[in-house]
Structure 1
Amino acid sequence: MLGRIARRGGAHAPAHRGPDPRGAVAMNAAAWRITLSAALLMALVTGSRAAGALYLSPLNSATGVGLAGLSLGLAIGQLGVGLLQPVIGALADRLGASRIVACGAVLLALFTVAPAAWPQAAPVLLALVLATLAGSAVASNALLLGPVNRTVPAARAGQAVAIVGAGASAGQLLLGPATQWAIEDWGWRSALVASGVVLVFALPLSRALRGAPCAPVRREGGAGTAGRASLRRTALRDSRFWRVAASFGLCGFHIAFLTAHMPGVIERCGLPVSLAGRWMAVSGAANVVGSLAVGALLRRSDPARLLAAVYVLRALGIGTLLVVPATPTLMLGFALAMGATHMATLPPTSQLVARDHGVQQLGALFGVVMLVHQLGSFGGVWLGGWAAAATGGDALLWRVDLGLALLAAALAWSLRPLGR
């Protein structure tokens, strides 16, 4: 199903997704299987990545690299993920996601455990980068959203993407406190090995993705390939596409900073280190609610307006943190606000791309969007570590983040359909 691209006054007007050619609006068994498998994969990878922030302090003590150095290693990994996303998305469109997930799961488990076996500066930094890259081959938006959108009826696509986002949130809710407990009771090295073992569960989940439809294959005379290339070129020349990508890049700055540095933020505020596990749990629970709520609202709301509202709510939460003294209660309230808007940006962002350019090339196109997202993530992780090391606090980063959230809201608002 392809979005139609029409011209109005020489500009590309948004192409809306028409009647669902797949028939019934209800999701069938295959659609639920693909959606829930994608959600569980996101839970494993996103949850372990969020919990990975709890290892930064012990890794710093074991290696002496310093917070800025570890942050740079994580940031390079985020940048590498962005560069890989268009490739992973295109491969998933052509070959199916199952094979890619299976290979990525083995590598992710190995690289996750590596710092426990070799806790020295260079191996740890290399493992951080490679684990981040492998994680994108197990669960990333470019990898999973294409199969989900091609399997689920169009009227339910936003809701299905919200379920995938909620899965990521559930992973943070469960693995954050569990990792905090394991580090305190077993030590960080044993806890890291346990984290690697948990990630092996991605292997059976990869089998559940078999049978998910790929993008149309090459037809006689190369028409299929030429058509795909034409669609991608059309999207990459569309300013609306790049505004979607830019807003998601600003989102990446914010999310990557929170994921990598929030335990350190709590510690630098003079609050108990153990609060970090509760912060992750509260944020993860709010994330599930926020993602599902946005998915439900998408059935009757314009995704651009909804996306702008999410970014405004995020800005209000950051502004409150800047002006109100830090207490455990405030931090948990901040976790609610940030969790509710965390993965809530994903359903409307993906639907904006699908509305304008269709779902058949969504993996490749969202790979480009994710490249921009990861450029923002690089900035959030690296600048967050540098600012904390240079100033001893996080106020500078929060001010930058506030401005970027408001800019993202403005970009999203500009994506409203013409004539509305």
Structure 2
Amino acid sequence: MEKTAQIPLKQLLICGSLIVTLSMGIRHGFGLWQLPIITANGWSRETFSFAIAFQNLSWGFLGIFMGMMADRFGAYKVLCIGALAYCLGLLGMAYSTQPISFLLTTGLLIGLAQAGTTYAIVYGVLGRNVSSDKRSWAMGIIAAAGSFGQFFMVPVENVLIDWFNWQNALVICAILSLLIIVLGMGLREPSREIVGHQTEQSILHALQEAFTYPSFILLVLGYFTCGFQVVFIGVHLPSYIKDFGLPPHVGSIALALIGLFNIFGTYAVGVLGQKYQKRFLLMGIYTLRAIVIIIFISAPLSAMSVYLFAAVMGVLWLSTVPATNAIVAQVFGIRHFSMLSGCVFFSHQVGAFFGVWLGGYLYDKYGSYDLVWYIAIGLSVVSALVHVPMNEGPIKRAAA
């Protein structure tokens, strides 16, 4: 067990929600910068897509180590590192003129920033300060905040691009990212007195335990699909609909609608996760995603069909986050939660890498996104199936 002075719940939810709102909100609008950046620099879509893909891969890989640091040294130090990396990465994104510098700033630095400022870090504090009977609900609140950030920040970023040009808009976002340092002060935890055999588990033993537990492997595999789908859609949907002759504002409205409706989806899954098995919720989410994508690419494309797709997909967008993370905490406990959550999220980001990169690569090769949509449908079916045999009960450990 772990004895700790608790952060007040209201303070935790407010500060954690605002941090995720900023961090997730800024990145959700990156698709709006694709065409301005490649036009200004004379790049292909694959160049931009590969940098965003590498960003997601960096986010996932570095998230494991940022989670270790947060578990060991506290979340606030990690949040400060992440905020500074976010600021520098966004400035690099604005002024890079060579693909390699764009890759190192937009890809590596912003990937590090997201690893240190998003769900795994905030959820680690939440897990240590919120009782298990409220944990899924609280995770739903934080995930809904990330959704609100997507809804709020996308139109704001679109306005900034229109008013100040795309480079200055990125500079403004870089300055906004530093607010995470101030908000992070609300998540500083008092020193903890750790007792009991469960908390003495080493990092290596925790990793060995997780990766030899079949249900953890299934959870990791299922999360790959989520990353593939949401990042492909988030980055390439504005370009996809513009290719069909629809005006650019349709894409920005669609991304905002995804964020708006995801507020309801993530909160609902957080609440339902307190009453029902979370694996069943995840099965339903992936099944519905496949159905929605099939309908969207089969129907005639119009502004209304895009908005309907965005609204329904928004309900399913980040609703996997509270359910997946709650399973990790429920199975393994909270001692190494940020690290293990980072391990699961790495699979998500590997999926994100392939989703955004294949989107650009296959478009440049075939002049169409059709094949990527088909892959997204197939992955949904696979992910729904892998959750069937999952055991989400607490793991049984031998006494010390």
Distance 2:10 2:389 in 1: 34
Shift in Å, 1:126 = 2.3
Q: Which residue of 2 aligns with 1:328?
A: 303
Structure 2 equivalent of residue 58 of structure 1? 36
Structure 1 stretch displaced more, 227-236 or 270-279: 227-236
Equivalent pair of 1:147/1:212 in contact (CA under 8 Å): no
Kindly indicate whether residue 295 of structure 2 is the aligned counterpart of residue 295 of structure 1: no
Alignment of 1:181-192 (within 5 A): 181-192=159-170
- Show structure 2 runs of 5+ residues with no match: 394-400
User: Which aligned pairs between 1:72-151 and structure 2 lie closer than 5 A?
Assistant: 72-151=50-129
The 5 Å alignment of 1:248-287 reads 248-287=223-262
Q: Report the CA distance between 1:373 and its aligned residue.
A: 1.2
Are the aligned partners of 2:155 and 2:256 in contact in 1 as well (CA < 8 Å)? yes
Do the aligned residues in 2 keep the contact of 1:93 with 1:214 (CA within 8 Å)?
Answer: no
Read off the aligned partner of 1:50 and give its amino acid letter: H
| Residue 280 of structure 2 is aligned to residue 305 of structure 1 | yes
1:343 and 1:200 map into 2 onto residues whose CA distance is 24
Deviations 1:72-102 (A, max 9, x none): 1111121122221211111111111101111
The Cα of 1:266 is off from its aligned counterpart by 1.6
Distance 2:103 2:149 in 1: 24
Residues 2-401 of structure 1 mapped to structure 2, 5 A cutoff:
30-211=8-189, 216=194, 225-226=200-201, 229-401=204-376
Q: Is the 8 A contact 1:216 1:360 kept in 2?
A: no
Gap change, CA 1:185 and 1:345, over 3 Å in 2: same
2:292–2:313 contact (8 Å) kept in structure 1: yes
Quote how far apart the aligned CAs of 1:151 are.
Answer: 0.7
Secondary structure of residue in 2 paired with 1:274 = helix
Higher mean alpha-carbon deviation, 50-59 vs 118-127, is at 118-127
Alignment match, 1:8: none
Cα pair 2:17 2:142 within 8 Å, conserved: yes
Flag the 1:212–1:171 CA change in 2: closer, same or farther, 3 A: farther
Q: Please give the root-mean-square deviation of Cα atoms over the aligned residues, in Å.
A: 2.4
> Any stretches of 5+ residues in structure 1 without a counterpart?
3-20, 23-27
Distance 1:288 1:248, change over 3 A: same
CA distance in 1, matches of 2:198, 2:127: 23
How many residues are matched? 393
Preserved CA contact (<8 Å) 1:147 1:213: no
Deviation digits for residues 325-363 of structure 1, max 9, x if unmatched?
Answer: 111001001101111011100111112222221122211
TM-score, normalising length: structure 2: 0.92
Over 3 Å counting, the alpha-carbon distance change for 1:322 and 1:414 in structure 2 is farther
Deviation at 1:112, TM superposition (A): 0.2
Q: Residue 153 of structure 1 aligns to which amino acid in structure 2?
A: S
Q: How far did 1:225 drift?
A: 4.5
